[in-house]
Structure 1
């Protein structure tokens, strides 16, 4: 049964509604307890060499805001709104008391990502792993003092992190370059000096726009027609660049916005690449530019069914006991098979011994990697070289081992899946190269933080139950002693 209590609910008095003690079992309270804030402070302080100027925000506020944004998958503006609404988030950032106004402007999030580089995030992640591993070893410390042999499993793989850009085409890039150069010409002409007898350079922007639309608005276009339109766009860009060189005599390029000036420099390189591909009838060139606004992005050929080519950063990770380490972040394409030896050596540096087995796909099983694994007694997954054994039983055992290795290697695929679906690794919205690398490293660090928090919760729950059993045992003993004394009396 439901009883109507009135149309207007009686709300608590807002100024006193949030007064009280925070719940110590809240996830943000627990998360704040496992982050090494002192080490974060030391890394953050290296960005400030001057002792003058306005006081910067604390390191805990800056680093904690980045964690909140990644963990909750928020934009910069949404992150500030969430912090101003939630007292637990303000405690996580180190505030002494709850404040309803925004603690800082959303534009500061960009500066936070610049002040914590990708390598800084990796160093903090290593500290978190060391602290978590120490607690785990203390709980399972039953080994002797003998030097450790090969132990554990190393799982490695690589993937592409797509950036938030339009799908690049030669025609689309040239059309964007034509529009940008036309914008530069308009600005320089408006601020010209001593050119009363000059005539504004012709840009033929309407003809260039029409030729571009004649292709993009059609379903099917012949190669001949496409080359004609590309040639038309190249001619427009070449003429506009020549006009800008002439206008530089009468107007300084410092009149342009810094972003537009950077794009003008990129357009010069883009034009050279596109002209080379047009003249030589090729479809690729070294360091090919696929975005004028983000020139650091390169095409990464993956050969996947859904997307043969992706545009963004290529990353290599290694997974050890569920903990994900970000080994390489690069916007230039590379062969991930060349990373295995360095990943094995990093494993040795972290743990003091080599792994017992390494699980990787086919591209990692080259001759050099096999020789390195054999030298250090590491078993590499996959079929061994040579013919399969004739013994049916031995052949079946090898197939079972290979099947188990593939099952273990699925863990790294799951890490990529969780990072892309849960933490938005499937599309990076930051525009600056360093900020994008920082965000990628942050995503894996936050994913590790969630795993560490789950482990510590399980660890604490285990000892809580153990303590309860111990107290019950003591209680039973005391009851037995009490009954014994009554029988004697």
Structure 2
């Protein structure tokens, strides 16, 4: 039945429930399904999931819907499939024609879903969802005809609306990186590679002093008091063990006993890690450029945040802009960057969406540099906050406007809190760099769906109360 109807989008009336049971149309997953323009998204990105080896392709709605459910409740891949298997509302949301007891897909397919739904594709899908739910009172999209220079010179368009922007970090699920721990992991990886090569070519393993190296590591790991002298001594020993193991691999390679492709990639990471650790040991420092903090995820970098709870976080840094209560990611990077460089591109993106610049931009102090202030002044945008430098004697400060701006800017902080607490942005569980980027954008899409759901409820309440007031006024006039 599913193969026959997979090209036709399922409505609530079409969904087949056993035992004559009916789904509640007020359920949030039913309403979320109505918010997403499935037909447009399927038409645009259906080629991401082609049929392979004679197997029918999974629809994009199934892939995107499953990942959004996972983001909302932080299920593991295996648990997500089990939950979908038991829940008819989940099955409706991912586009199944009726309730079924069989698994809709294997848990391993979720990795492929995240690979194919890239950061760029998901950002476009987020934009399609926002456009589909755009109301008349929102800013209307711009006409794409004509050059950008002609649009920018058009003085007929007056500034309107508010753009809020701020940066945060999406922490990755890794152990806190300590130098001794990283070197111990590197040594264990080298021992595994040597053992694998010797097993592959039926060679005798060289003496690697595994037990002694492990004992030296545990002597520090189990120690309650770690002096700097004791830590340096443990690091020195681990570096010596690693140097010996690395020489074994070079010797095996000289006799044409090579590791496989994945092991060679891992060796490159280990060599870079050991080089950094040797540099820090020799120079008695704890900082180095492009420092590796995880062997399994070498793309992760330490991001200095300066927060009291977590002064340094390990994960991707991102800039989020909020317009009409909905979030968009302006930039994702695993390298530290200055947030101020994102402001002008974010305003230009606002212009492309709406055909005019915002009336005001609410941002943190770090965004208020001379370049950004000059740009905003040139385009008639009020960048909220005090002027640079010491205020003059005759400077008049509008405290009421400052208060309104500070209150409105809290919206972006609220979005960070919601996305981290309820939509998986607080701890990213994926392992690959590309799937991590996709996971971050999925968190923002999931948060926007909840915001649109609350907005629709709010509008319904306004409609009910407005009708009630009209009836009340009419009764008064009649009376």
- TM exceeds 0.5? yes
Gaps spanning 5+ residues in structure 1: where?
1-14, 140-145, 481-489
Instruction: Return 22-31 or 37-46, whichever deviates more.
Output: 37-46
Deviation at 1:369, TM superposition (A): 0.7
Larger Rg: 1
1:291 equivalent in structure 2:
294
Tell me the alpha carbon deviations over residues 429-461 of structure 1, each in whole angstroms, 9 at most, x when there is no partner. Answer: 111111111111011111111111222233345
Q: Is the 8 A contact 2:72 2:424 kept in 1?
A: no
Helix, strand or coil: the match of 1:224? helix
Instruction: Return 208-217 or 444-453, whichever deviates more.
Output: 208-217
1:156 equivalent in structure 2:
165
Gaps spanning 5+ residues in structure 2: where?
1-15, 141-154
Tell me the alpha carbon deviations over residues 237-283 of structure 1, each in whole angstroms, 9 at most, x when there is no partner. Answer: 111111112223353423x8x4x554333112111221222223332
- 1:229 paired to 2:230: no
Deviation at 1:99, TM superposition (A): 0.4
Q: Distance in 1 between matches of 2:198 and 2:57?
A: 41
Tell me the alpha carbon deviations over residues 169-191 of structure 1, each in whole angstroms, 9 at most, x when there is no partner. Answer: 11110010001111111121122
Tell me the alpha carbon deviations over residues 129-160 of structure 1, each in whole angstroms, 9 at most, x when there is no partner. Answer: 11222455599xxxxxx944111111111011
Q: Is the 8 A contact 1:44 1:115 kept in 2?
A: no
Q: Is the 8 A contact 1:270 1:289 kept in 2?
A: yes
**How do residues 119-268 of structure 1 correspond to structure 2 at under 5 angstroms?**
119-137=120-138, 147-193=156-202, 200-248=205-253, 249=255, 251-254=257-260, 258=262, 261-268=264-271
C-alpha RMSD over aligned residues: 2.9
Q: Is the 8 A contact 2:193 2:259 kept in 1?
A: no
Q: Is the 8 A contact 1:44 1:116 kept in 2?
A: no
Q: Distance in 2 between matches of 1:52 and 1:102?
A: 20
**How do residues 66-85 of structure 1 correspond to structure 2 at under 5 angstroms?**
66-85=67-86
Q: Distance in 1 between matches of 2:240 and 2:201?
A: 25
How does the TM-score come out when normalised to structure 1?
0.84
Q: Is the 8 A contact 2:168 2:318 kept in 1?
A: yes
Q: Is the 8 A contact 1:192 1:250 kept in 2?
A: no
Deviation at 1:361, TM superposition (A): 1.2
How does the TM-score come out when normalised to structure 2?
0.86
Distance 1:200 1:389, change over 3 A: closer
Q: Distance in 1 between matches of 2:71 and 2:382?
A: 36
- 1:91 paired to 2:92: yes
Q: Distance in 1 between matches of 2:139 and 2:196?
A: 67
Q: Distance in 1 between matches of 2:308 and 2:399?
A: 27
**How do residues 54-73 of structure 1 correspond to structure 2 at under 5 angstroms?**
54-73=55-74
Distance 1:299 1:386, change over 3 A: closer
**How do residues 373-452 of structure 1 correspond to structure 2 at under 5 angstroms?**
373-390=376-393, 395=396, 397-452=397-452
Deviation at 1:46, TM superposition (A): 3.5
- Give the count of matched residue pairs: 449
Q: Distance in 2 between matches of 1:16 and 1:328?
A: 43
